[in-house]
Structure 1
Amino acid sequence: MAAAYGIHLGNHSASLASYSNGAPLIIANDAGDRVTPAIVALNGTEWEIGLPAKSGQPSSKSIIKHNKRLMNSDFNADDLAYVEASSSCRIQNEDKVVYEFETSETTLYSNPDNIATKIYAKLFTIASHAMNNEGDLKLVLAAPLHWSTTSTERLVKCAELAGFDVLQVISEPAAALLAYNIEETAEDVNVLVYRLGGSSCDVSVVKVSGGFMTIEKNIYRSDLGGQCLTKDLADYIASEFRQKWKLDPQESRRAMAKLLIHADNCKHVLSTLNSAHVFIESLLDGVDWSQNVSRARFENVISSKINAYMEPAQQVIESFGGPIHKIIICGGSMKIPKLQSAIANLVPEAEVLSGISPDEVISVGCAREAGLLLDIPEFSLSDLNTEVEFLGKDIYLKYLDQTVQLFKEGTPPYAQNVQSIEAGGDVTNISFSLHEDPESEEFATETFNVESLSKPFTLKATLQQSNVLLQVE
């Protein structure tokens, strides 16, 4: 029996969710954590993925971080420089990107696709251990809205090499809406999706009308991310250490690497608690450091950055020009209460949806989509070319003497439309035909025997990636 899963692989971390018994569920990794660091390291001759790669002595490992930036086939020089600065392996970029992992015991070479495959393989192992029965692991992935088809295909290939059967790739904003079932909302709503991850920020306005989702506006920023806040906190701790011991951790790359790890952990603790304790063994010249950091102090440290983080959201809202009814926050950095308050204050009249942990929203949406796909039976209507995520043309339905617009341009795959069909008691068979416009020739047709159905009966149409499924009940 197949199992449905959703994965969001980010620059900084990865989240895995399953769909069973009608609900999505986050699957914890072998350390009991609900998210897995998207970090790969070579320690001696052994590969480490996730938390083992992040922890321990950074100086003894060859580490790659933020690999997803270079999975984008359209990455630029800034992306390459960012990955180089945050990692400890050498990166060659001539004909293609090559990572050189060097330790005291060996030197190995890899590339962004191989690293992504290792992370997916780690998640595949976690998912396999969570299954109660043997079966295929069906997967829906999320990709950034600005990625090209080539980049998305690379992501799919890596997941498949790791063992998953990839059903579909959806955009991150679409996954966020699916996580909260917003496509089922009866009234028309405009949703602001604000994602702030470890090293990037995406803001989108999505219009939902009759179950159809349309991306109205989007801004992507690669210069905004939670790492900026981690760096500010690390600098603050370094200044406290310098003031007491007259030693400057910022002059030591090793000391700052340790500081950044502890500052990142401290930041996450302060997202849920009012204080966090930082203890760093042998921070510099054998001197240990112990300090309590309050949430109020942390918020004061990052206060100068808040307006910069809100700027892309403000731009999208002003460019859209219409009312915003709901706000979805996602991305690990949006767990910070100060940022949640700031985004809510931009549109006070909007409902902020925060019932799902921000770093789990996208994987939950993917898992829900995977569960929906597995519930849809196979069918055989003529192919209809569509966009990977949104329908590129209108689709009309004709039956008896009626013509209705079934799906409009911009509809995402697996959207559904239910029609109430009136038919006389003497009608036994009805033919339904699909058209690109009311006057064009049909491109698919299906005939149903409705003699045994109560009148009026319903016709349910489901838009898939290259087909339309019709069912009567």
Structure 2
Amino acid sequence: MAGEMTILGSAVLALLLAGYLAQQYLPPPTPRVIGVDLGTTFCSVGVFLPGTGNVEVIPNEAGQRSIPSLVSFTDSDIYIGHEAADFADANPQNTIYDAKRFIGKLFTPEELMLESSRYPFKVICDNGEAEFLISTNETYPVSPEYIGSLLLLKLKKMAEMRLGIPVSKAVISVPAEFDEQQRQATVKAANLAGLDILRVINEPTAAAMAYGLHKVDVFNVLVVDLGGGTLDVSLLNKQGGMFLTRAMAGNNKLGGQDFNQRLLQYLLERIHTRHGSVPATKEDLHRLRQAVEWTKLNLTFCNTSLINVSLSLTDVQKQEESSSKEHATQSILFKEEVSREVFENLNEDLFQKILVPIEQVLKEGHLDKSEVDEIVLVGGSTRIPRIRQVIRHFFGKDPNTSVDPDLAVVIGVSVQAGIMAGSWPLQVSALEIPNRHLRKTNFN
């Protein structure tokens, strides 16, 4: 028996030595398992780089490391990501977004009618499942899984272009509240894109891994995920390398789009007050929305931001008096300086709403806020200084902001992809303890 143990120990030592030598003297192998974050508003793909232990989030041709979760159907082609975003105002009835809200879910006709009323495209019910009705040269339905597959195929091609090899295996993230049917629908979307999913990981767990919390001694982790359209708060309990989701709450109608809408409405009122007019075309409104988005981003780093956009305005009174639209429009160069204070005042009530699900998960998790070891921020909207101030004031300490919040989930998923691929240096894997009875509390 002692001899067998000696042989076994020698074999393990030889294996570790071989791995060490390979890591030191051989070029690192090309990653073959990708990590995918199929987000509601944006999605990304990354790889764990063997040998360095770093994650590379793969950019598209324009250098952008995330793409909008949009798909636009036209008479001649299908556009995905940033290209689809250009059609959002000109072709709203055939530009699909928020497909993740519908994937794998069952609705009553009344529920689906209420949910679909928020969108410019048509949502129909097929035996309780949502489908999107496309009207181009012909009219036909597409499923949320199909929309997801187009986005995943785009991410797959981005990875293949960067790595120079075909990619067929992936780890993918899903919201912690997704049930088994929603998870399987997400896997089906990946399969349609030619991806074999090795593991499905919860987004809060992925975010915790991005911050390296699977390797350090923490116990209670609060993940605040605020993106373009949804707020998700999760309380994780960690023991060793295992994560248990103790409580979830959120608001599926609160995010960066809502902050933009407040600023857009403010600017429309300024335009009307100054010129007695409103933007004349969808293209004008699209340009103004783009200016709003850039202003929001600029105010994250600066105290003021200048909006400078050309618009064609419709004079409502002249349009009523004249049958010719040509005589009822005017072209202007709209300039407006927006301060961070104005932006914060416009959205202060929305910022305060972020605390409602935070308080709820602490209550459901039977935890005092002083017992939270780490507060992790995920999603681009958590960059907004006032939001960080609100969270800091509530907890009496700074949230962890060491990772790009836009990329936290994809980084964590890519770490897990590296683990699944057996890449060096070996990482501590995060294990999730399923909690079948846990339900997310939603505040709207």
Coarse TM-score class (shorter-chain normalised) = 0.7 to 0.9
Gaps of 5+ in 2: 1-29, 315-329, 425-430, 439-444
Give, in angstroms, the shift of residue 11 of structure 1. 1.5
Q: Which amino acid aligns with 1:190?
A: N
Q: TM-score, normalised by structure 1?
A: 0.73
Give, in angstroms, the shift of residue 246 of structure 1. 0.9
Structure 2 distance, partners of 1:18, 1:75, is 36
Corresponding residue to 2:178 among 123, 141, 147? 147
Distance 1:126 1:20, change over 3 A: same
Structure 1 distance, partners of 2:278, 2:296, is 22
Q: Which amino acid aligns with 1:194?
A: V
Matched, 1:313 2:342: no
Structure 1 distance, partners of 2:80, 2:56, is 23
Which residue in 2 is equivalent to 1:263?
Answer: 292
Secondary structure of the 2:243 match is: strand
For this pair of structures, how many residues does the alignment match?
A: 378
Structure 2 distance, partners of 1:147, 1:75, is 15
More helix, by proportion = 2
Gaps of 5+ in 1: 378-387, 393-409, 411-473
Corresponding residue to 2:208 among 154, 171, 177? 177
Which residue in 2 is equivalent to 1:16?
Answer: 45
Structure 2 distance, partners of 1:248, 1:292, is 19
Distance 1:266 1:78, change over 3 A: farther
Which residue in 2 is equivalent to 1:92?
Answer: 124
Secondary structure of the 1:86 match is: coil
Structure 2 distance, partners of 1:338, 1:217, is 25
Give, in angstroms, the shift of residue 360 of structure 1. 0.7
Which residue in 1 is equivalent to 2:338?
Answer: 293
Alignment of 1:340-359 (within 5 A): 340-349=388-397, 351-359=398-406
1:379-438 Cα deviation digits (max 9, x unpaired): xxxxxxxxx94268xxxxxxxxxxxxxxxxx9xxxxxxxxxxxxxxxxxxxxxxxxxxxx
Secondary structure of the 1:169 match is: strand
More strand, by proportion = 1
1:135-160 Cα deviation digits (max 9, x unpaired): 54431111111111111111111112
Corresponding residue to 1:372 among 384, 404, 419? 419
Structure 1 distance, partners of 2:163, 2:174, is 25
Matched, 1:115 2:115: no
Q: Which amino acid aligns with 1:341?
A: Q
Structure 2 distance, partners of 1:81, 1:243, is 34
Give, in angstroms, the shift of residue 363 of structure 1. 0.8
Which residue in 1 is equivalent to 2:347?
Answer: 302
Which residue in 2 is equivalent to 1:35?
Answer: 66
Alignment of 1:220-231 (within 5 A): 220-231=250-261
Structure 1 distance, partners of 2:112, 2:352, is 24
Query: Is this contact kept in 2: 1:196–1:334, CA < 8 A?
Result: yes
Q: Which amino acid aligns with 2:44?
A: S
Give, in angstroms, the shift of residue 184 of structure 1. 1.3
Secondary structure of the 1:167 match is: strand
Alignment of 1:273-422 (within 5 A): 273-285=302-314, 286-288=330-332, 289-319=334-364, 320-322=366-368, 323-349=371-397, 351-375=398-422, 389-390=432-433
Query: Is this contact kept in 1: 2:219–2:237, CA < 8 A?
Result: yes
Query: Is this contact kept in 2: 1:258–1:283, CA < 8 A?
Result: no
Which residue in 2 is equivalent to 1:102?
Answer: 135
Give, in angstroms, the shift of residue 200 of structure 1. 1.5
Q: Which amino acid aligns with 1:40?
A: V
Which residue in 1 is equivalent to 2:327?
Answer: none
Which residue in 2 is equivalent to 1:440?
Answer: none
Query: Is this contact kept in 1: 2:146–2:192, CA < 8 A?
Result: no
Distance 1:69 1:158, change over 3 A: same
What RMSD over aligned residues (CA atoms) do the two structures have, in Å? Answer: 2.8
Q: Which amino acid aligns with 1:364?
A: I
Query: Is this contact kept in 1: 2:31–2:163, CA < 8 A?
Result: no
Distance 1:136 1:119, change over 3 A: closer
Q: Which amino acid aligns with 2:46?
A: A
Which residue in 1 is equivalent to 2:227?
Answer: 197
Give, in angstroms, the shift of residue 271 of structure 1. 2.6
Q: TM-score, normalised by structure 2?
A: 0.77
Give, in angstroms, the shift of residue 280 of structure 1. 3.7
Distance 1:280 1:53, change over 3 A: farther
Q: Which amino acid aligns with 1:237?
A: L
Distance 1:154 1:267, change over 3 A: same
Distance 1:365 1:344, change over 3 A: same
Greater RCO structure (CA 8 Å; 6+ sep): 2
Secondary structure of the 2:173 match is: strand
Structure 2 distance, partners of 1:363, 1:305, is 27
Query: Is this contact kept in 2: 1:5–1:370, CA < 8 A?
Result: yes
Secondary structure of the 1:183 match is: coil
Distance 1:215 1:60, change over 3 A: closer
Identical positions, percent: 24
Secondary structure of the 2:118 match is: helix
Distance 1:122 1:226, change over 3 A: same
1:191-219 Cα deviation digits (max 9, x unpaired): 11011122211111112222322212211
1:59-117 Cα deviation digits (max 9, x unpaired): 24521111111114145756764555333x322224343322224x5544322111111
Q: Which amino acid aligns with 2:256?
A: G
Distance 1:248 1:145, change over 3 A: same
Give, in angstroms, the shift of residue 9 of structure 1. 1.3
Matched, 1:66 2:98: yes
Structure 1 distance, partners of 2:346, 2:208, is 32
Q: 266-275 or 352-361: which moved more? A: 266-275
Query: Is this contact kept in 1: 2:33–2:169, CA < 8 A?
Result: yes
Q: 151-160 or 26-35: which moved more? A: 26-35
Give, in angstroms, the shift of residue 339 of structure 1. 0.8
